[in-house]
A and B are shown apart, each in its own frame.
Chain A
């Protein structure tokens, strides 16, 4: 990963009074928000964070970026924000996974009741929330960036900080998981129809 992309470990810890960002720095931060906040938020959502939590984590990533603006090289903003957000989400992600596992027991009953509503977008979102509940976040991340954000393999490699070959292998594994889960859900969905 670019040397200008700092790890979450570099997040500020000083308790000194923070200073407002003005002028050029503020313009840059606004541009970064405009350009990347949706991608960050959507990735966090697919990693299992509820919408409000994904928004909070996205905000925290930008706050850290604001602290480190001088050290973030031009053109590396997305990579910095992305890696920071993923790092921040790891603890929340594990917490969200545990609650998802508990609610997953109700999936069959839910799917039966909702079989008529599958075309409803809310139901589809909830189903997608469950598909990757047990999947390693490194696989989910690559899957989301390729399938949903339609980034190329080199772009994903740069963003995540892995070789292109690793992108390919993770995508293959993530796709296998997605297809298997989707197949199970489709069977249940069809079985639920009258």
Chain B
């Protein structure tokens, strides 16, 4: 009995300690391995890429992105925008150009779809140009 109560108490304490996210959120999928073995996410030049898709919209007013690692690799206009899932219809403003970590970038919603695709792009039209990043999104 003591063990059960201790376990329940520990679970309650653990739940209280967990930071509660504001929205349906996650970490960007990592597809590029750095020389040090770390995996990061990447976006190449050309058309915008669907970095995360079909995410349940939970944030009421903005899509938010916080980068914890960023290598612009000389590229510019690294931005994100929300699209209504399963369409090419934009549902948020385009973010500011992301050029720093320690920033949270916010893009205002223009619609309230149930599910959202998050697309990212850079200025370059060449697929040989790319940026590398890690971070979190809040949709």
B and A form one assembly? no
Q: Which residues of B contact A (CB under 8 A)?
A: none
Q: Which residues of A contact B (CB under 8 A)?
A: none
